[in-house]
Chain A
């Protein structure tokens, strides 16, 4: 039996100790290359100090015209906001309902390749185009208005939730599924008892995040004529009504913040098991156990 202590003692006496961390030269080369490209891109795009200075001058004039915000046309503002909210909620609901089965079908640990690949292909296509481009396509297809916006954001939701949901399912513990299968449960019951409980909380997380994201995007699709506050915003820009622009921006920010509060509440209830009163008690539902203590 060799003594494991002997090797360490011998190594301590020798000057050259083996390198404990394997080093690679590639990360350094990549860093230098990135730096070089940033310099090159600045030169190509003519980003000079002169250009930045004239830009700042223009910006200061523009910002002075934004204030004070003008809420005189609040009815127009409210109508646009409500339409945006409706677009976001409809698109999120429709997107979640469609993404759930697509996400399940795309999971390679549950489905045979002839099911998972088509499902994954649909999700990839839904993800590949920016919502604004999809919105333009739908405006051309179904005409101006909120319907085009709802359809565009539904596609975006399918792409986002579908992909994340598939990935979440592919990471579940096979042991829990195995145990449910061993009871002789039919496939749908295995899904309901072995698979979905493992991904439910993550799914709620994706869904509320997507609602948040759709709220933001629903304020934008109006720019291409797909309904919502975006159209009003764009018109105000074009008429140089910068004080009204400012009012719209403040309204949008408030809407997004409300959405954030709502999403946190939903997550608190579904994931943290909090009750509604808990959410209003200070620091209870939103408090996280910190991983690092500083003392």
Chain B
């Protein structure tokens, strides 16, 4: 489904953030990427849909190398990859409905989109999704009037509007309280299950990762240092990922 081959990225020449990443993601299930801040988790996620340009390597998605795509080819590939952001990245001045329909922009011509002429089926699905994420009745609210948890629900609904074949989430719960974090993770898990797609999530909360992920990838220093099921993630491995041990509960 998704295979990264020898993926490397350095923002400054000679200082790689990602070094020679090899990763295969199965066609369904949640993969959580954990690791210390600044170790390249975000960069890795953003390389996949090319919001960040990889320096070297291949990103094989459905048989095509995303790293080679340009222009329309890249835009068409991005349509199939939904993304959820840490700070939600909703367009603040637009309504919830407009933010959801943003997920269809890859399929609608710019002229139609400017005049808000979306397909009736898309609009019906947007209302349905609002129900699913628990925001029925919020369609006409402006995004900047919502709370953090509500915004992230809109962010997830926007990504699902794309009918993605792959869902990326860049620390989707890091700005949220513990209870809302669990609700958001349940929502993401629900999307993975019901749409039968792979979900790749960066996270800081190890417990949350253990609870929801089918597979955990541990990164340190721009490399993958652990890859396995949550049950295999013990204190020794956590020490290897985050370094030191004083922070671990005795």
Q: Which residues of A contact B (CB under 8 A)?
A: 173, 175-176, 178-190, 192-194, 197-198, 200-201
Distance from A112 Cβ to chain B, minimum over Cβ atoms (Å):
14
Q: State how many angstroms separate the Cβ of B171 from the closest Cβ of chain A.
A: 13
**Is B94 in contact with A197, judged by CB distance below 8 angstroms?**
yes
Number of interface residues of B (CB under 8 A): 34
Q: Which residues of B contact A (CB under 8 A)?
A: 49, 51, 75-83, 85, 87, 89-94, 98, 102-106, 108-111, 113-114, 155, 158, 162
B91 in contact with A184 (CB, 8 Å): no
Interface centre among B76, B78, B94, B110 (most CB of A within 10 A): B110
**Partner pick for A180 among B49, B91, B155, CB 8 A cutoff:** B91
| Chain A residues with CB below 8 A from B85, complex form | 175, 178-179
CB contact between A193 and one of B51, B77, B78, B113 (< 8 Å): that residue: B113
Please give the distance in Å from A285's CB to the nearest CB on chain B: 18
Query: Bound state CA distance, A179 and B49, in angstroms?
Result: 11
A198 with B110: CB separation less than 8 A: no
**A201 contacts across to B, CB distance below 8 A:** 93
CB distance from A275 to the nearest CB of B (A): 16
B75 contact set on A, CB distance < 8 A: 184-186
A to B CB contacts below 8 Å, 6 in the list: A176-B92, A179-B89, A180-B105, A183-B103, A185-B102, A198-B93
In contact, B98 and A193 (Cβ under 8 angstroms): yes
Chain B residue contacts of A183, Cβ below 8 A: 78-79, 82, 102-106, 158, 162
Contact A175–B87 (Cβ < 8 Å): yes
Of chain B, the residue at the smallest CB distance from A175 is B89
B51 touches A182 (CB 8 A): yes
With A182-B51, A183-B102 given, is the CB distance from A193 to B79 under 8 Å? no
A184, B104: Cα distance in complex, Å: 9
Tell me if A182 and B90 are in contact (CB < 8 A). Answer: no
Most buried by B among A175, A178, A185, A187: A185
- In the complex, what residue of chain A is closest to B78 when comparing beta carbons? A184
A197–B110 CA distance with the chains assembled, in angstroms:
15
Q: How far is the CA of A182 from the CA of B52 in the complex (A)?
A: 11
Q: How far apart sit A186 and B76, CA to CA, in the bound complex (Å)?
A: 9
CA distance A187 to B105 in the complex (A): 10
User: Is A185 in contact with B105, judged by CB distance below 8 angstroms?
Assistant: yes
Q: Is the CB of B77 within 8 A of A184?
A: yes
Given contacts A183-B102, A183-B162, contact A197 B79 (CB under 8 A): no
Which residues of the partner chain A approach B81 to less than 8 Å between Cβ atoms?
182
A178–B105 contact, CB under 8 A? no
Contact B91 A182 (CB under 8 A): no
Collect the chain A residues with CB atoms within 8 Å of residue B158's CB: 179, 183
A190 CA / B102 CA spacing, docked (Å): 9
